[in-house]
Amino acid sequence: MDTAEIFKKVRKIEIKTGRLVNEVFAGEYQSAFKGRGIEFAEVREYVPGDDVRDIDWNVTARFSKPFIKKYSEERELNLMILCDISGSQFFGSRQTLKNELSAEIAATFAFSALKNGDKIGLLLFSDITELYIPPRKGKNHSLRIIRELLAFNPKNKKTSLSCGIDEINRLLKRNSIIILISDFIDTNFEKSLRLAKIKHDIIPVIVYDEMEINLPRARFIVEAENIETEEDVLLDLSDNLFRREFSRINLRRIEQVEEKFKKMGIDYLKLKTGEEFHGELVKFFKRREIKRWR
């Protein structure tokens, strides 16, 4: 991808996601990640119009009249994009590669953070740390992150989710929101994810392509290459049994990843190339807002 093409794609993503952030996501972003506040500050006597969900029942019982809790909100948040850039991310069957979808997702979060005055950073990983950009503010900084997501040429092709998560655990000293974008074609990353969850608000985003689930029906055998291992594999598209088994195995793989997140109590997104994901993001933000108020 040459410089002019990269600039064109960055500009297209900026226009598309910037408009959506302004029109749709700004309020949801703030509610989902900041909500009622981060730290308890004090209690004060209840006055009509206060939210009853903020009543401190222990203090209320002690003084026989209602008191509410007051919170002080952090002035800014750290938002870190932790993105898989291994070989499998450069696959796509609907005119959009998985890494291009990842860039658009990251851009939506980046411009939401920009609008709310929060810092944003980036860590790209394969089975090593490929690139780290520390969290900072500013539009130029956000655009640089999008450019790197689209144009960065990784050294390695294999995947190690634990490598990326462990590195971000080491680098980030303050509590942060971590958007972990990957196809999650990897194993043995649960321990690293649990450790990250203790300190940070980590949100996995599963990106996948339709052809990874459903092979097209045809009357021939296709020779394909595993991008990460560089091994050749034969896909018999004329064999219904083969295609069904292929679908079953890959659907089950994604289901197992989702089960891991649910078991750990981690909110996650699942998004497919070639489809608009903004409605799913709005639903996600609204679910987060509801959870914070429970």
* Domains in the chain, CATH or no CATH each: 3-31+75-292 (3.40.50.410), 39-72 (no CATH)
The total number of residues shown for the chain amounts to 294
State the Cα–Cα distance between residues 288 and 267, nearest whole angstrom. 8
Predicted local confidence at residue 178, as pLDDT: 95
β-partners of residue 279 are none
SS3 of 40, please?
Answer: strand
8 A C-beta contact, residue 257 and residue 184: yes
pLDDT more than 70, % of the chain: 90
- What is the token pair recorded at 224? 């394909």
User: What confidence score (pLDDT) does residue 36 get?
Assistant: 41
Q: Any idea of the CA torsion for 257, 263, 267, 271, to the nearest 10 degrees?
A: 20
CA distance 122 to 131: 8
Higher-scoring residue by pLDDT: 294, 156: 156
Give 205-219 pLDDT, tens digit per residue.
999 999 888 888 888
Q: What are phi and psi of 285, to 5 degrees?
A: -60, -40
pLDDT confidence band for 120 (50 / 70 / 90): very high
The percent of residues in the chain predicted with pLDDT above 90, rounded, is 42
Global pTM reads: 0.81
Element (H, E) at 131: strand 129-136
**Model pLDDT for residues 38-56, shown as the tens digit of each residue:** 555 678 888 887 878 788 8
